[in-house]
Amino acid sequence: MPQKLSLLSATLGLLAVSFPAEPADDIKQPSGYRQWFHVNTMIVDKASPLFGELGGMHNVYVNLTGQAALKKGGPYPDKTMFVTDLHEFMVSDGSYVEGPRKALAVMVKDSKKYALTGGWGFQLWEGGDSKRPVVTDATKQCFECHQPKKDQDYVYSTYIP
């Protein structure tokens, strides 16, 4: 559990620091990620201290490049991309159901290009809108919280058969 929560603060903590600025790098929003492998789902509910920044249903996907490595717990080959497709949720009579998209966060592997952040580039778009990237400093906004997971190639998500 603590691992998953740390993942949240790592990949999405930047929601709390939403700069109306240029992105830190040239990461493009992927297309077709809804067709990727569904890694797992997690909900940050109102009772969580993280709700304000991270509340929602987190559907995590990985592209084909990273699938085999996911099952081994890393390391990941270049061009691996993870997506956190963050959705609103509604509670109805004790059940949590998925709502519309709230944000889209990615981490993409390029060992050389992103050598200073463990080989990973990071970006998040509010509302999933490609015109609203919020990562301007991947080290502070993303990588610092991923460092404890160095033994899993800085990825918190694990494979759930």
Sites of contact with a second copy (CB under 8 A): 1-2, 4-5, 8, 34-35, 37-38, 40-51, 57, 59, 61, 87, 90, 92-101, 160-161
82 sits in which H/E element: strand 81-92
Q: For the beta carbon of residue 93, count every other beta carbon within 10 angstroms.
A: 4
d(CA 103, CA 137): 18
Closer of 18 and 42 to a second copy (Cβ): 42
Structure tokens at 22: 């240029």
CB of 87 to a second copy, least distance (A): 7
CB of 27 to a second copy, least distance (A): 21
End-to-end CA distance of the chain: 17
Structure tokens at 6: 């740390």
CB of 116 to a second copy, least distance (A): 30
Would you put residue 119 in left (φ > 0), alpha (ψ -120 to 50) or beta?
Answer: left
Q: Which residues are paired to 105 by β-bridges?
A: 84, 124
Closer of 41 and 111 to a second copy (Cβ): 41
Closer of 43 and 148 to a second copy (Cβ): 43
CB of 64 to a second copy, least distance (A): 10
Closer of 8 and 135 to a second copy (Cβ): 8
